Amino acid sequence: MAAAVPSKDKSSYASHTVDGMPTCSWRTRTFAMTAMNEDPDLAQALAARQQLEEVWSANPTGPETKRLQKEEERPENNFPSKFHRSSQKGQGSQGKGQWDAWSQHKWGDNDMTSTPDYGTQALIRSMTKLVLRQEEELNRLRIDTSWMIFLDNQPDGLVPVLQTTAEKWQQQYEANKVDTSLRVILFLAMVKEVASRLGGFLEQEAHVARAAAVGWTSPGDTALSPMWNYQQWNPETRQVERSSRAPLKHQDALQHLETLLARAGSPNTITRFKAARRLEGDHAAAVVPFMLSLSLRSESAALCHAALTALDNNACLKYAALRLRPERGARSALAKEVEEHYLQLSYTDWQRRSRQWQKRA
């Protein structure tokens, strides 16, 4: 099975074959490579997808991959550096486009540039500092409770599984037969599918050999007990590398998944499992990110936390077209926008931070 990117625009995501095995088109790869320059998570996910293709495909990367890499460097392939929303989005009565148009018509230049009175200035200063301070506190909590999950968007990936599960849950909900939240049902469905695929890994001798070839596994005590390597992203070389963490035994990885299946459904354990975009229809994005959060105050949450910590950044999840990493606690894009707007005010009492920071040798 080879990974494929479903898309409504077949010209942008056309496919070709290499010895009968479908792969992504050079245009798709070029677009993704350009976009991932500003998104390390996307870069890691695409690197994982390439390795996944090598494991699942009978034809690992070779001359064809080198040809695609050369095509990615073509000067005419200057695609946008970021993914943009569809032009049809936000056209409703409360869409951003109409709000911008309304503000431009209703407010004159004089009104927009007028300086508020001292009380309003003081209020804006205090509210800005309070909001950003609260953001920092929440980020500290997210480091201990939250993870980011990245699913490869492909026909044989996990996104279709979650779509089907969500549709069935909706039908049960409408029939008043639901006693478990959708976030729990989706998470358990995802973990169950990962456990099923990983459980059949050793039965696929070709997959076992290719997983070792791409650096996912290391030899264990026996042929039936391979070790799954932990990996990390090197921002300097822009390559996925093996980390210094001791490899995870295959049976231990399965046990951690069983722990999640047994404990994640307990009350007040999963507080959030949410996709960054709707699980409806086809997605043009190569990767669908999910946000996962656990509670702080239950035995089940503690056991799930330990299991997720053991699995994060481990290559065993890549076999199921999934990547897991802990929340980094970075300031959100909206918080950065608030800070930037505040710095541009004439009455701000902040100074722009110096960005001339160099890594210690």
pLDDT at residue 64 greater than cutoff 50: no
Residue 262 lies in a domain: yes
Long-range pairs of 238-243 with CB within 8 A, sequence gap ≥ 24: 238/43, 239/47, 240/44, 240/47, 240/48, 240/51, 242/215, 243/313
Q: What tens digit of pLDDT does each residue of 187-242 get?
A: 999 999 999 999 999 999 999 999 999 999 999 888 788 999 999 989 888 888 99
Backbone angles phi and psi of 301, in degrees to 5: -65, -40
Q: What is the DSSP string of 196-226?
A: HHHHTGGG-HHHHHHHHHTTSEE--SSTTS-
Backbone angles phi and psi of 273, in degrees to 5: -145, 100
pLDDT of 333: 84
Residue 343 lies in a domain: no
Instruction: Give the Cα-Cα-Cα angle 193, 194, 199 (nearest 5 degrees).
Output: 100
Residue 120 lies in a domain: no
Residue 266 lies in a domain: yes
Long-range pairs of 17-24 with CB within 8 A, sequence gap ≥ 24: 18/59, 18/64, 19/58, 19/59, 21/57, 21/58, 21/59, 23/53, 23/57, 23/64
Span 309-321, average pLDDT: 95
Task: Please state, in angstroms and as integers, the Cα–Cα distance from residue 225 to each residue in 4, 147, 195, 204, 270, following that order.
Answer: 30, 28, 16, 14, 31
Task: Please state, in angstroms and as integers, the Cα–Cα distance from residue 50 to each residue in 44, 57, 120, 341, following that order.
Answer: 10, 10, 54, 40
Residue 228 exposed, middle or buried by CB count within 10 Å (0-12, 13-18, 19+) = buried
Q: 205: domain range?
A: 143-326
Between residues 77 and 187, which one has the greater pLDDT? Answer: 187
Residue 311 lies in a domain: yes
Token pair for 190: 């995802």
| HSE of 346, CA atoms in CB hemisphere, 13 A | 7
Token pair for 333: 């894009």
Q: How far apart are CA 282 and CA 163, in angstroms?
A: 10
Percent of the chain residues topping a pLDDT of 90: 37
Angle between helices 299-311 and 250-263 (to 10 degrees): 150
Token pair for 233: 């992203």
Provide the residue type at 6 as one letter: P
* Total structural domains within the chain: 1
pLDDT at residue 271 greater than cutoff 60: yes
Between residues 86 and 164, which one has the greater pLDDT? Answer: 164
Residue 6 exposed, middle or buried by CB count within 10 Å (0-12, 13-18, 19+) = middle
Q: What tens digit of pLDDT does each residue of 4-36 get?
A: 333 334 333 333 333 333 334 444 444 445 555
Residue 334 lies in a domain: no
Residue 332 per-residue DSSP state = P
Global confidence as pTM:
0.65
